[in-house]
């Protein structure tokens, strides 16, 4: 264990992190078994040991920013079991229709009170657009309007929202662009909330898998859902969108992106936050879409997710006294770790946020993307 501790200590120093140091990003170790746990279980061991209270850090987001910016995850040997999982993930479809519902039950159906406390007033659970925004509400409104502008929405058009969340985008498009919206989700709690939230508007909210949609639409959008599709289904997803989109239509894909191609997401995130999730790479999106679409625009504002996540974290902390009535300290540490480690990853530019606009045949005269 002493040798393992020494190796990890030296690696952390490369990122300016000191074990039991005085800086906010230094980790405070309460259980020396932490080092062997990390050596044997990688990121899963690091996350679970935090959940168990084996270590703390005053600025967890900066700890992960430094760790990832120094590429320490590339300098650590991957345990054999994780390598085996990566190989198996190449051939296993983790996102069949049945398995896809796991993320709804484990994450999106945790209780609307959590998301009402953490998110903006429209309950948008995806990256905000902070170019000219100073508040979370403003950033999310700017993001919704940016999407509508990129889709060139016009009154009377039909819009399909794949993975509609709590209905914020559907309502915004209907109210501000006079669009008729069909919105689908596999989360029962999101479906019920969105149905009530969008009542009285030309919006249909469906509790349905995207693979079962049959109608045609002028515009299609998917925000923060492609991360749940899985690499085995990327081609299926793109083919389905192509079938549903009118010939002169536009499709906007808003997704977290990975700098490198993977077939399995981080072990801790998959186990505790997003079961069966996977962030696609540029290559994976390009390969799955090239048979079906012309790529009109590719916009990266991943750095904005750092700001969004930090706002969510502060909201979570500020409302914890209300939320803890139905949740324990383990939930608190789990969500603290999730929100702050994610913020650090986007700050380090390990993760990206892409908005991609596709057409079926290419826009005559070209496409001009708003920013």
For 270-327, what is each residue's pLDDT tens digit? 999 998 889 999 999 999 999 999 999 999 999 999 999 999 999 999 999 999 999 9
pLDDT at 263: 84
Whether residue 133 is contained in a domain is answered as yes
Q: What is the pLDDT of residue 247?
A: 97
- Domain boundary residue, one of 77, 105, 122: 77
Of the candidates 299, 329, 335, which has an alpha carbon nearest to the alpha carbon of residue 314?
335
User: In sequence order, what are the residues at sequence separation of 6 or more whose Cβ sits closer than 8 angstroms to the Cβ of residue 140?
Assistant: 120, 122, 124, 128, 129, 168
User: Domain check: are 260 and 200 in the same one?
Assistant: yes
The reply to whether 261 falls in a domain is: yes
Residue 12 domain flag = yes
**Same domain membership, residue 160 and residue 72:** no
pTM of the predicted protein model:
0.93
CA–CA gap between residue 175 and residue 169 (Å, rounded): 10
CA distance 323 to 327: 6
Q: 65, 38, 63, 40: which is closest to 49 by C-alpha?
A: 38
Q: Are residues 128 and 51 in the same domain?
A: no
Bridge partners of 28, per DSSP, are 56
Judgement on whether residues 129 and 30 belong to the same structural domain of the protein: no
CATH code assigned at 220: 3.40.50.150
Same domain, yes or no: 198 and 333 = yes
Asked, for residue 213, whether it belongs to a domain, the answer is: yes
Residue 13 within a domain: yes
Cα 334-338-342 angle, rounded to 5 deg: 165
Residue 314 domain-assigned (yes or no): yes
Q: Which of 32, 49, 77 is the last residue of a domain?
A: 77
If asked whether residues 215 and 291 sit together in one domain, one would say yes
Please tell me whether residues 233 and 289 are part of one structural domain.
yes
Tally the domains of the chain.
2
Task: Say yes or no: 266 and 352 in one domain.
Answer: yes
- 107 with 18, same domain: the answer is no
For 241-257, what is each residue's pLDDT tens digit? 999 999 999 999 999 99
Indicate whether 369 belongs to any domain.
Answer: no
User: Residue 82: its pLDDT value, please?
Assistant: 56
- Residue pLDDT, tens place only, 343-368: 999 999 999 999 999 999 999 999 99
310 assigned to some structural domain = yes
| Judgement on whether residues 51 and 148 belong to the same structural domain of the protein | no
Kind and range of the H or E run holding 104: none
Res 93: pLDDT: 62
Residue 300: domain span: 97-359
**Tens digit of each residue's pLDDT, the chain (371 residues):** 558 899 899 999 999 999 999 999 999 999 999 999 998 888 999 999 999 999 999 999 999 999 999 988 776 666 655 555 555 555 556 666 666 677 878 888 889 999 999 999 999 999 999 999 999 999 999 999 999 999 999 999 999 999 999 999 999 999 999 999 999 999 999 999 999 999 999 999 999 999 999 999 999 999 999 999 999 999 999 999 999 999 999 999 999 999 999 888 888 999 999 988 899 999 999 999 999 999 999 999 999 999 999 999 999 999 999 999 999 999 999 999 999 999 999 999 999 999 999 999 999 999 999 99
307 and 200 in one domain? yes
């Amino acid at each position: 264990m002493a040798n393992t501790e020494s190796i990890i200590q030296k690696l952390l120093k490369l990122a300016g992190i000191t074990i039991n140091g005085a800086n906010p990003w230094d980790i405070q170790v309460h259980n020396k078994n932490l080092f062997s746990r990390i050596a044997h279980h990688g990121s899963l061991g690091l996350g679970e040991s935090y959940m168990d209270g084996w270590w703390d850090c005053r600025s967890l987001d900066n700890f992960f920013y430094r760790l990832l910016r120094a590429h320490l995850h590339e300098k650590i040997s991957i345990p054999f079991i994780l390598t085996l999982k990566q190989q198996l993930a190449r051939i296993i479809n983790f996102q069949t229709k049945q398995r896809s519902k796991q993320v709804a039950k484990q994450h999106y159906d945790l209780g609307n009170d959590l998301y009402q406390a953490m998110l903006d007033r429209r309950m948008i659970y995806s990256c905000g657009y902070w170019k000219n925004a100073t508040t979370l509400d403003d950033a999310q409104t700017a993001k919704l309007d940016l999407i509508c502008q990129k889709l060139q929405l016009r009154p009377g058009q039909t819009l399909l929202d794949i993975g509609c969340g709590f209905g914020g985008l559907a309502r915004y498009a209907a109210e501000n662009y006079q669009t008729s919206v069909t919105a689908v989700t596999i989360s029962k709690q999101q479906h019920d909330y969105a149905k009530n939230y969008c009542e009285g508007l030309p919006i249909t909210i469906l509790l349905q898998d995207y693979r079962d949609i049959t109608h045609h639409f002028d515009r299609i959008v998917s925000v923060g859902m492609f991360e749940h599709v899985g690499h085995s289904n990327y081609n299926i997803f793109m083919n389905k969108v192509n079938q549903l989109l009118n010939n002169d239509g536009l499709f906007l894909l808003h997704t977290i992106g990975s700098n490198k191609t993977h077939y399995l997401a981080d072990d801790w995130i998959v186990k505790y936050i997003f079961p069966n999730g996977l962030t696609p790479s540029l290559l994976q999106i390009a390969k799955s879409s090239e048979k079906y679409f012309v790529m009109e625009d590719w916009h990266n504002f991943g750095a904005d997710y750092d700001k969004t996540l930090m706002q969510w974290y502060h909201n979570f902390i500020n409302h914890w006294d209300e939320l803890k009535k139905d949740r324990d300290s383990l939930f608190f540490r789990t969500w603290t770790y999730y929100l702050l480690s994610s913020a650090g990853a986007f700050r380090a530019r390990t993760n990206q946020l892409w908005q991609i606009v596709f057409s079926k045949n290419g826009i005559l005269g070209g496409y001009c993307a708003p920013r």
